[in-house]
């Protein structure tokens, strides 16, 4: 269990020593939460419960070449809970009051203005908006919109899933930093590793895109943060790439990184381990694209029965779709490099520049032109 917070567990009346990712108490707490929520007319409890990802079965993964991986949806997904008494959740509210609107679409990135705005081209997005008209409250044809996105992913042979299977929130918001007691979606990791066709994975968030770079646990870290050499995902780091790699490490897999294209400083296969912590922190920051090799170790079972040997993936970690309008994003070195290549001075970069950058990255991802993206690594 990552980003462990025993206080959140205690607040739910559970005993921390009895809780780990294989504990039946997680599912039991979630079921009790839903029952209480319905009985209370949709008022969220003061103490956030364990939540189990609602959409993982909505889009069965296929042996496609490309994956997009996110984290966990906002609490608004509860408006579409499949419980037979779910109409009671139509009035879903925060503990202190205030209504929670239903997602625009009951699917991954269902809130308006998120990932689908960037991966869909203009005609495709216009068609989506025609299915679910803007300004209509409550939205209509929402399930049709979900089916449209499912069809888009299958037509373009792109898998989508999230790396978090279950978690507790510190507060009822969409901030990934506030997710604790995280159980990694190991089935997703095993699917990627067992897919003979996979070539590339795009992570919606990753410390590698920021100047802070990849951080690893050291000897002076708290024991609950993880063994030395594992990816640091405590504190404010809940990035999907970091969680994926940490999940691989927890599953006894070896993870290596390589950059051997583009004009940025290149390096050969380097294991994510204590020995290379400083090197990776310095050289795996402000990066858009690189390669990752995942392989079995000699010390035990990897938990992926269909995986043996090694898997090499092209990894993309661009700006989060939720962060394109944040002012600090304009200062990102990758975006500044992209702007320079497109004749935009650093002092004229706006959030529209960031939007154009992200749309460009998704176009290259859809077309499989990963090599073109290496020129924007800093």
- 378 residues of the chain, pLDDT tens digit each: 999 999 999 999 999 999 999 999 999 999 999 999 988 888 999 999 999 999 999 999 999 999 999 999 999 999 887 665 566 677 789 999 898 888 889 999 988 768 999 999 999 999 998 998 765 665 678 889 999 999 999 999 999 999 999 999 999 988 889 999 999 999 999 999 999 999 999 999 999 999 888 999 886 667 677 788 899 998 788 999 999 999 999 999 999 999 998 887 799 999 999 999 999 999 999 999 999 999 987 665 668 877 888 999 999 999 888 888 777 788 889 999 999 999 999 889 898 999 999 999 999 999 999 999 999 998
Which stretches within the chain are classed as H helix?
Answer: 6-11, 24-39, 116-119, 122-131, 142-155, 186-194, 240-250, 277-283, 333-341, 351-367
Cα 269 to Cα 303: distance, rounded to the nearest angstrom: 24
C-alpha 249/C-alpha 320 separation (Å) is: 24
**C-alpha–C-alpha distance, residues 274 and 229, integer Å:** 4
Nearest to 75 by CA among 192, 227, 178: 178
- Cα distance between residue 298 and residue 131, in whole Å: 52
265: which DSSP letter?
P
Please say whether the beta carbons of 37 and 86 come within 8 A.
Answer: no
Cα torsion 167, 171, 176, 179: sign:
negative
Enter the DSSP assignment of 185. -
Tokens of 108: 């991954």
Domain spans of the chain, in order of start: 6-184, 187-376
Task: Identify the pLDDT of residue 241.
Answer: 97
CA nearest to 212, candidates 183, 235, 181: 235
CB burial class (10 A; 0-12, 13-18, 19+) of residue 264? buried
Task: Kindly give, in sequence order, each residue whose CB lies less than 8 Å from that of residue 265, ignoring residues fewer than 6 positions away.
Answer: 259, 283
The reported pLDDT for the residue numbered 346 is: 87
- The Cα 294–Cα 287 span in angstroms is 19
Per-residue tokens: 342:
């497109």
What does the DSSP 8-state code read for residue 103? P
The token pair at 128 is: 């989506």
**Taking a C-beta distance cutoff of 8 angstroms, is the pair 241, 249 a contact?**
no
In this prediction, residue 163 carries a pLDDT of 98
- Alpha carbon distance 373, 314 (integer Å): 11
Q: How confident is the model at residue 85, as a pLDDT?
A: 56
Rounded to 10°, the helix 186-194/240-250 angle is 80
Report the C-alpha gap between 333 and 324 in whole angstroms: 14
Query: What is the predicted pLDDT for the residue at 221?
Result: 67
The pLDDT value recorded for residue 217 is 85
pLDDT attached to residue 24: 97
The tokens for 320 are 């989060």
DSSP code, position 127: H
The answer to whether the Cα torsion of 146, 147, 148, 151 is positive or negative is positive
CA distances (Å), 308 to each of 66, 196, 297, in order?
Answer: 20, 11, 10
């Amino acid at each position: 269990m990552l980003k462990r917070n025993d206080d959140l567990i205690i607040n739910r009346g559970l005993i921390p020593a009895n809780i780990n990712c294989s504990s039946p108490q997680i599912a039991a707490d979630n079921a009790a939460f839903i029952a209480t929520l319905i009985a209370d007319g949709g008022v969220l409890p003061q103490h956030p419960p364990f939540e189990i990802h609602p959409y993982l079965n909505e889009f069965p993964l296929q042996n496609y070449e490309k994956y997009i991986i996110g984290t966990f949806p906002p609490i608004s997904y509860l408006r579409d809970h499949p419980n037979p008494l779910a109409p009671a959740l139509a009035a879903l509210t925060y503990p202190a009051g205030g209504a929670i609107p239903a997602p625009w679409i009951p699917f991954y990135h269902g809130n308006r203005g998120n990932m689908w705005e960037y991966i869909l081209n203009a005609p495709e997005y216009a068609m989506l908006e025609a299915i679910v008209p803007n300004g209509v409250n409550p939205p209509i044809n929402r399930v049709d919109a979900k089916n449209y996105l499912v069809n888009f992913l299958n037509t373009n042979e792109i898998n989508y899933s999230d790396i978090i299977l279950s978690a507790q929130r510190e507060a009822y918001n969409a901030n990934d930093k506030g997710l604790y007691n995280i159980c990694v979606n190991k089935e997703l990791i095993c699917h990627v590793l067992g897919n003979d066709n996979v070539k590339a994975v795009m992570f919606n968030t990753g410390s590698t895109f920021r100047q802070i770079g990849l951080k690893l646990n050291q000897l002076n870290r708290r024991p609950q943060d993880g063994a030395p050499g594992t990816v640091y995902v405590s504190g404010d780091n809940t990035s999907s790439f970091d969680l994926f790699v940490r999940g691989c490490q927890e599953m006894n897999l070896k993870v290596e990184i390589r950059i051997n294209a583009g004009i940025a400083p290149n390096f050969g296969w380097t294991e994510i381990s204590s020995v290379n912590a400083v090197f990776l922190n310095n050289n795996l920051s402000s990066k858009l694209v690189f390669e990752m090799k995942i392989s079995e170790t000699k010390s035990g079972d990897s938990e992926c029965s269909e995986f043996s040997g090694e898997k090499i993936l092209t990894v993309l970690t661009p700006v989060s779709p939720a962060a394109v309008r944040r002012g600090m994003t304009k200062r990102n070195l990758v975006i500044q490099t992209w702007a320079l290549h497109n004749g935009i001075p650093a002092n004229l970069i706006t959030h529209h520049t960031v939007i154009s950058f992200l749309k460009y990255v998704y176009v290259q991802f859809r077309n499989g032109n990963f090599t073109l993206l290496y020129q924007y690594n800093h």
